[in-house]
């Protein structure tokens, strides 16, 4: 038994070490000074001083998503804690495991409107998976260990531990993780055997099957991706993924249809609409996917593998719910399917793929790069071409059109290499996330594909990138517009562009230089490759200000509330022969 | 039946949801939620209902296991079958929630509520109030020459009925506990 007497502040550092934490993203203040003092006196845990607490949380998210380990944040009471709220909500919606430690006024001052007092557990209760206020130093170590357990178990998510300053100063007993009483929190991971068999039977007979996979595969870990690949490739079924699941199945794989949903590929959405068997693996029927609920894939039998019972039948009713961890369930499915002879309906599948090929022929992502203005799609395509062979590439994004173009035009062959804010759609996520990723992978190529408006929301983190020599590449598609908002105004509000452009943008090259980074401006398609190469060659943080077409729209698009087969295609899609009865409404 | 013959829209094979999801009728369910009695747990449960727009008709809570620090929350809610399923699933994923039981579907249950009524009046009205209280097996727990406090236990309907009768007889004030419920029979949760 390792039971040692120490201060609460020391316990925090001890618990982080015992939990295998390497990096903490944080920002000090009065209510966490004892913990910062302990951090000062040790070398095991690195602390990254961000420039805003929101940045700390997104950095921790980037760290977590790119490693599969929980990200850790340390901030002070009051404003430190409230600044973390957006990041917590982001992590909650995207199921990202992070542990946020906040300082609090001393226990005897709680409730007195003390200096920098906020009801942190009250404020963050709806935006954490769970949170704790620790009022006794003896409770601190067990709560911290439990916090890590809850963050990573079942459906991962953010947790918060609020630690009053007197609890940090007082001495108590530290218990190690293995001496801590086991938690009652143990979500079920093994799928129901009857349901697994039902799914296998459905797989054997399906004529028009499709795998619809999501972030849950990434959450489940590398084994889940491996098993998914095996199942998809051996059945020969087509597969599409949500924004959150990109990379779980390789974009170079033979079953790959591309992303689905509002800005997903035509072939992926029509396969979803017309399928007779939908196998949802770790996705949550988000409204960017389903469109109008009544018309969502009307003729299919649906299976849903999800670790969170509340995801089942929340939005779409399914015939085969399988509550469990993706890796565990897929392992069972593969075992039963093989044992029964690895059968599929080969002939029907052939026809299905023929149909899919016709949809593919529309080439829904086609665009024309002409003239002197860079098309944003072209910029992303060149970025992809010039970086895809990099052995260790990570892509982050901000939120908006550029995010969708990155999802459409960049390919991911491995999980954990794509960091984006999907559920909350938090502008300002990408830059700090890229810092978190680079901290975890110092030698990797980390690129944040950004829009200028989003990027400005957390631009203060340039200071962090410089201070920690993090060579993050900020690739800004600068349309001088809140592009995604402008697109909606164009399509839905009679082109009345109410407050969707910025009139006072900074000179991004000078901005980079002001921080001590490199700035590159690209405004001619002819200079694009050279500019990207220059960015890649520079050993340090770079801001690329890539001036692009201002009024480009992101297509294809399913207008919200419409069914999948009413997709709007871009004007350049090749629609000559392919659209059949019940097909798309074209712009 | 082969799993492949599952009819579209049918949930008869589902291990988790046995009712027709398309039914839109609103049902009333009594849920027993066993929670760790820790700070904020009630706020979590209530926050879930308000945050997701679910109804609470009645809610009672008290510690029922002092050694194990377990509290029992009895909540009466209304919703379509699919909403009720969501409520249970959402409750179940709150970390300090240990068990969620739907007393409405898990076999017969008894539901009781306790209420206190202050009724004031003189003369015939006072006699009538006392006579009705007797019929309802109410206890008199306080009295002055001009008032009674009655204690009534029973189903919510019984308490509603008693309140209706007392109103014309001088009902001044009433306090209700909300519903406590247990499944019938030998086995416990
Ligand atoms: C501007 C914008 C446009 C967007 N457009 C699109 C679009 O066109 N297409 C698109 O797909 N998305 C789009 N999104 C993202 C969208 O909002 C959702 O975030 C996304 O679709 C959700 O992905 P998901 O279903 O994979 O769920 P996630 O949020 O990743 O949820 C994962 C699911 O898996 C479950 N799970 C977690 N761990 C496990 C495990 N170990 N085992 C089993 N299950 C597990 C969880 O319980 C949950 O149900 C857009 C976002 C923005 C900001
Ligand atoms: C914090 C926040 N505020 C507002 C929005 C709404 N919003 C979504 S996309 C967008 C515009 C983003 O502009 P930019 O970053 O330049 O990217 P673009 O769409 O032009 O590629 C806005 C304002 C949001 N998602 N997040």
pLDDT at B6: 35
| Average model confidence (pLDDT) across chain B | 89
A368 in a domain, yes or no? no
- Provide the pLDDT confidence category of residue B1 given band limits of 50, 70 and 90: very low
Taken as a whole, chain A contains a residue count of: 587
- The CATH number of the domain holding residue A93 is 3.40.50.970
Q: Which of A183, A236, A498, A197 is nearest to A349 (CA)?
A: A236
Measure A578 CA to nearest chain B CA, in Å: 29
Same domain? For A128 and A197 the reply is no
Full pLDDT tens readout for chain A, 587 residues: 567 999 999 999 999 999 999 999 999 999 999 999 999 999 999 999 999 999 999 999 999 999 999 999 999 999 999 999 999 999 999 999 999 999 999 999 999 999 999 999 999 999 999 999 999 999 999 999 999 999 999 999 999 999 999 999 999 999 999 999 988 899 999 999 999 999 999 999 999 999 999 999 999 999 999 999 999 999 999 999 999 999 999 999 999 999 999 999 999 999 999 999 999 999 999 999 998 899 999 999 999 999 999 999 999 999 999 999 999 999 999 999 999 999 999 999 999 999 999 999 999 999 999 999 999 999 999 999 999 999 999 999 999 999 999 999 999 999 999 999 999 999 999 999 999 999 999 999 999 999 999 999 999 999 999 999 999 999 999 999 999 999 999 998 999 999 999 889 999 999 999 999 999 999 999 999 999 999 999 999 999 999 999 999 999 999 877 888 888 898 777 766 544 444 444 33
Classify burial at A552, counting beta carbons within 10 Å of its beta carbon; exposed 0-12, middle 13-18, buried 19 or more: buried
**Cβ-defined contact of B6 to A317 (cutoff 8 Å):** no
Residue B13 pLDDT > 50: no
**Cβ-defined contact of A317 to B11 (cutoff 8 Å):** yes
* A195, A201, A313 ranked by CB distance to B2: nearest: A201
Per the structure, the complete domain to which residue A62 belongs is given by 4-179
Instruction: For residue A299, give both structure tokens.
Output: 């003729």
* A125, A320, A321 ranked by CB distance to B47: nearest: A125
Same domain? For A54 and A141 the reply is yes
A371 in a domain, yes or no? no
Count CB neighbours of A526 within 10 A.
9
- Final residue of a domain: which of A137, A152, A179? A179
- Rounded-to-integer distance, Cα A68 and Cα A225, Å: 13
Instruction: For residue B75, give both structure tokens.
Output: 């909540």
CB of A62 closer than 8 Å to CB of A435? yes
H or E segment and range at residue A23: strand A23-27
Question: Which residues are CB-contacts of A444 (< 8 A; sequence separation ≥ 6)?
Answer: A392, A393, A394, A437, A438
The residue whose CB lies within 8 Å of the most ligand 1 atoms, and thus the one to mutate among A267, A422, A424, A553, is: A422
Same domain? For A476 and A445 the reply is yes
Give the pLDDT confidence of B62-100 residue by residue, as tens digits.
999 999 999 999 999 999 999 999 999 999 999 999 999
- Which residues on chain B place their C-beta less than 8 Å from a C-beta of chain A? 2-4, 6, 8-11, 13-17, 21-22, 36, 39-40, 43-44, 47, 51, 82, 85-86, 89-90, 92-96, 98
The residue whose CB lies within 8 Å of the most ligand 2 atoms, and thus the one to mutate among A401, A405, A459, A484, is: A484
| CB of A408 shorter than 6 A to ligand 1 | no
Same domain? For A20 and A91 the reply is yes
pLDDT at B187: 81
Q: Which of A117, A24, A127, A107 is nearest to A77 (CA)?
A: A117
Same domain? For A231 and A304 the reply is yes
A565 in a domain, yes or no? no
- Rounded-to-integer distance, Cα A521 and Cα A542, Å: 11
Peptide bond just before A520 cis, omega within 30 deg: no
Same domain? For A271 and A302 the reply is yes
Q: Distance from first CA to last CA of chain B, Å, rounded? A: 32
**Cβ-defined contact of B86 to A320 (cutoff 8 Å):** no
pLDDT at A183: 87
- pTM value? 0.94
Burial A74-103 (b: 16+ CB within 10 A, else e): bbbbbebbbbbbbbbbbbbbbbbbbbbbbb
Number of structural domains chain A divides into: 3
**Cβ-defined contact of A301 to B92 (cutoff 8 Å):** no
- The CATH number of the domain holding residue A252 is 3.40.50.1220
Q: What is the ipTM of this complex?
A: 0.91
Measure A130 CA to nearest chain B CA, in Å: 7
- Rounded-to-integer distance, Cα A159 and Cα A97, Å: 8
- Final residue of a domain: which of A120, A152, A179? A179
Calculate what percentage of chain B has a pLDDT beyond 90.
85
Q: Which atom of ligand 2 is nearest to the CA of A477?
A: 21
Q: By CA distance, what is A310's nearest residue in B?
A: B89
Give the pLDDT confidence of B119-142 residue by residue, as tens digits.
999 999 999 999 999 999 999 999
Same domain? For A111 and A18 the reply is yes
A212 in a domain, yes or no? yes
Which domains does chain B carry? 3-102 (3.30.70.260), 109-183 (3.30.70.1150)
- Rounded-to-integer distance, Cα A376 and Cα A455, Å: 16
């Amino acid at each position: 038994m390792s039971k040692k007497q120490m201060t609460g502040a020391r316990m925090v550092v001890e618990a982080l070490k015992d939990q295998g934490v390497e990096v903490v993203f944080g920002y000090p203040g009065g209510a966490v000074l004892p913990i910062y003092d302990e951090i000062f006196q040790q070398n095991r845990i690195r602390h990254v001083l961000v420039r805003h607490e929101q940045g700390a949380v997104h950095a921790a998210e980037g760290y977590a998503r790119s490693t599969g380990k929980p990200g850790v944040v340390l901030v002070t009471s009051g404003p430190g804690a409230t600044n973390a709220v957006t990041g917590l909500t982001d992590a909650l919606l995207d199921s990202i495991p992070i542990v946020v430690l906040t300082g609090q006024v001393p226990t005897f001052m709680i409730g007195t409107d003390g200096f920098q007092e906020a009801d942190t557990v009250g404020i963050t209760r709806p935006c954490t998976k769970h949170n704790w206020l620790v009022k006794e130093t003896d409770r601190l170590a067990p709560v911290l260990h439990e916090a890590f357990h809850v963050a990573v178990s079942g459906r991962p998510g953010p947790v918060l531990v609020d630690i009053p300053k007197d609890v940090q100063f007082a001495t108590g007993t530290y218990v190690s993780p293995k001496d801590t009483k086991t938690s009652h929190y143990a979500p079920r991971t093994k799928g129901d055997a009857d349901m697994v068999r039902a799914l296998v039977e459905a797989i054997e007979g399906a004529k028009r099957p499709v795998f619809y996979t999501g972030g849950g595969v990434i959450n489940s870990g590398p084994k889940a991706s491996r098993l998914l690949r095996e199942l998809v490739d051996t059945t020969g079924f087509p597969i599409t993924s949500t924004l959150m699941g990109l990379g779980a199945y390789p974009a170079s794989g033979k079953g790959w249809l591309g992303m689905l949903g509002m800005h997903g590929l035509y072939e992926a959405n029509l396969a979803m609409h017309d399928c007779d068997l939908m196998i949802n693996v770790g996705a949550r029927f988000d409204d960017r996917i389903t469109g109008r609920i009544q018309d969502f894939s009307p003729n299919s039998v649906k299976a849903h593998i999800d670790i969170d019972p509340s995801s089942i039948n929340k939005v779409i009713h399914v015939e085969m719910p399988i509550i469990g961890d993706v890796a565990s369930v897929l392992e069972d499915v593969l075992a039963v399917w093989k044992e029964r002879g690895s059968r599929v309906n080969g002939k029907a599948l052939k026809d299905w793929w023929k149909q899919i090929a016709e949809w593919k022929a529309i080439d829904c992502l086609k665009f024309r790069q002409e003239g002197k203005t860079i098309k944003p799609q072209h910029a992303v395509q060149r970025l992809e071409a010039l970086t895809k062979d990099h052995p260790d590439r990570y892509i982050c994004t901000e939120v908006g059109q550029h995010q969708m173009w990155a999802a459409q035009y960049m390919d991911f062959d491995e999980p954990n290499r794509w960091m984006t804010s999907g559920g909350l759609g938090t502008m300002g996520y990408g830059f700090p996330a890229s810092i978190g990723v680079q901290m975890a992978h110092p030698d990797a190529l980390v690129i944040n594909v950004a829009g200028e408006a989003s990027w400005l929301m957390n631009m203060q983190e340039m200071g962090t990138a410089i201070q920690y020599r993090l060579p993050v590449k900020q690739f800004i598609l600068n349309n001088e517009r809140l592009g995604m908002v402008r697109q909606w105004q164009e399509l839905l509000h009679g082109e009345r562009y109410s407050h969707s452009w910025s009139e006072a943008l900074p000179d991004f090259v000078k901005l980079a230089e002001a921080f001590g980074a490199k700035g590159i401006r690209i405004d001619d398609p002819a200079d694009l490759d050279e500019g990207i190469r220059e960015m890649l060659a520079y050993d340090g943080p770079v801001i690329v200000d890539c001036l692009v077409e201002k009024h480009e729209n992101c297509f294809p698009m399913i207008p919200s509330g419409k069914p999948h087969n009413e997709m709007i295609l871009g004007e350049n899609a090749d629609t000559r022969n392919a659209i059949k009865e019940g097909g798309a409404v074209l712009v | 039946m082969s799993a492949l013959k599952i009819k579209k829209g049918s949930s008869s094979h589902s291990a988790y949801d046995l009712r027709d999801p398309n039914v839109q009728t609103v049902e009333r369910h009594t849920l027993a939620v066993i929670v760790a009695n820790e700070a904020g747990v009630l706020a979590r449960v209530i926050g879930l209902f308000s945050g997701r727009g679910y109804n609470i008709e009645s809610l009672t809570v008290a510690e029922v296991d002092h050694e194990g620090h377990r509290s029992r929350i009895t909540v009466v809610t209304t919703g379509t079958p699919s909403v009720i399923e969501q409520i249970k699933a959402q409750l179940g994923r709150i970390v300090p929630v240990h068990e969620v039981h739907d007393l409405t579907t898990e076999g017969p249950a008894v539901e009781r509520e306790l209420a206190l009524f202050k009724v004031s009046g003189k003369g015939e009205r006072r006699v009538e109030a006392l006579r009705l209280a007797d019929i309802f097996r109410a206890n008199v727990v306080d009295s002055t020459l001009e008032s009674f406090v009655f204690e009534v236990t029973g189903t919510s309907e019984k308490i509603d009925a008693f309140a209706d009768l007392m109103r014309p007889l001088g009902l001044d004030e009433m306090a209700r506990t909300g519903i406590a419920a247990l499944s019938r029979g030998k086995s416990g949760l």
